[in-house]
Chain A
Amino acid sequence: MLSNLLTKFAIDPVIHITPLKVLTIGGLDITNSMLYGVICSLIILVLLVTVARRMTVFPKGGITQFVEVGTDFITDTLKSALESEEKAVKYAPYFIAIFFFILFSNWLGLLPIVGEAFTAHGEPLTRPFTADLNGTLAAAIITWLLVQYFAIRESGFLKHMRHYFNGSLKNPLTLLLGIFEMFSDLTRIASLALRLFLNVAIGEIIITVFSALGGVAGPITALPFTILELLVGALQAYIFVMLSIMYLAVAVKHGAHEEHETPEDHLTIDEVVNAEVNNVSN
């Protein structure tokens, strides 16, 4: 009896890996993820502009404080990575924007209205923007291009190219390793994009599968995984920004290191040994 009831409500999980076309405007195919991406962007734009207008010296609480905490957090991370407050403030706008974009795209994608709820010609009308490889690839490519641009502006084109070729240029191995290094720099695009896409898309699949397994109790069985996805969405936004900040720090800091040599570099071995001996005897 009970098993009959359960099988009656059980539905086959519908899993989409790729986004689906919903409409065509002037020869350009609009997919469901693009549609929801534009909606999310508008929501984020309105939210951030409203928060920026309501910003006061004394925190008000609510969503304003949430955005302030996020902004502060990214600026602090930049400051500790670049070791300079001036540079951190200079590069903060892009990283804060991409952080909130990914965070809110992930979280708005978990709403029950996204997916099979609204359909056009039998295909879902909305899909989380970050659950589409095209979207995350675009975010990764723009981040990579901007990191290259920031690094070139900071240390000059030749010096930026030189940091791939580490060592004497007369050595042929340096050339080989340098080209290899450049290729490994390019793979960062793929790794950034794939990580975000796979985390979000697989989260969606897991929620779908567990709500289908639950049958009548679908909402209850899917709840723990939805809460887990809230955590994963925030974590992936943090990881995306953290890794791009690390790439920027590696590219920018290299030029600064060669200019400012610490006085300790000029000490002879005897002086260092004497200093060590004095330390130990004290």
Chain B
Amino acid sequence: MFVNFAAEAVNTAVLAKGIMMGFGMIGPAIGIGLIGNAFMNAVGRNPEAAKYLGQILVIIAIIELMALLVFASVFIIK
């Protein structure tokens, strides 16, 4: 009975979008944080390699793609 009431009174699509955005962004956020942590550790240990390490920092783009996919999925839910 409650389920029927909830389905009629609550806009479940908006809820789903909110929940998906919230949980989906957790992973990429942790991943980018770990990369930043590793980059700063590496530069602290070996400051001469900062330029080379900055080039490797491009792999953030691979994780960013996951966050963008979450955002794009919002438009699929109707």
Contact = CB atoms under 8 A, between A and B. Distances in A.
Contacts of A201: 72
B68 A195 contact: yes
A198 interface: yes
Contact of A191 (B58, B62, B72): B62
Contact of B68 (A80, A202, A238): A202
A191 B75 contact: no
Contact of B58 (A17, A80, A242): A242
A239 B58 contact: yes
Nearest to B58: A242
Given A202-B71, A202-B72, A195 B65 contact: yes
A199 B75 contact: no
Contacts of A80: 55
Nearest to B51: A80
Contacts, number: 31
Interface in A237-251: 238-239, 242-243
Given A17-B75, A242-B55, A198 B69 contact: yes
Contacts of B10: none
Interface residues of B, number: 11
Interface string B45-78: 0000000000100100110110011011001000
A194 B72 CA distance: 10
A238 B64 CA distance: 15
A243 B65 contact: no
Nearest to B71: A202
Contacts of B62: 191
Interface string A226-256: 0000000000001100110000000000000
Nearest to B72: A198
B51 to A, nearest CB: 10
A163 B71 CA distance: 36
A261 B51 CA distance: 28
Interface in A170-200: 191, 194-195, 198-199
Interface of A: 15, 17, 77, 80, 191, 194-195, 198-199, 201-202, 238-239, 242-243
8 contacts: A80-B55, A194-B69, A195-B61, A195-B68, A199-B64, A201-B72, A202-B68, A239-B58
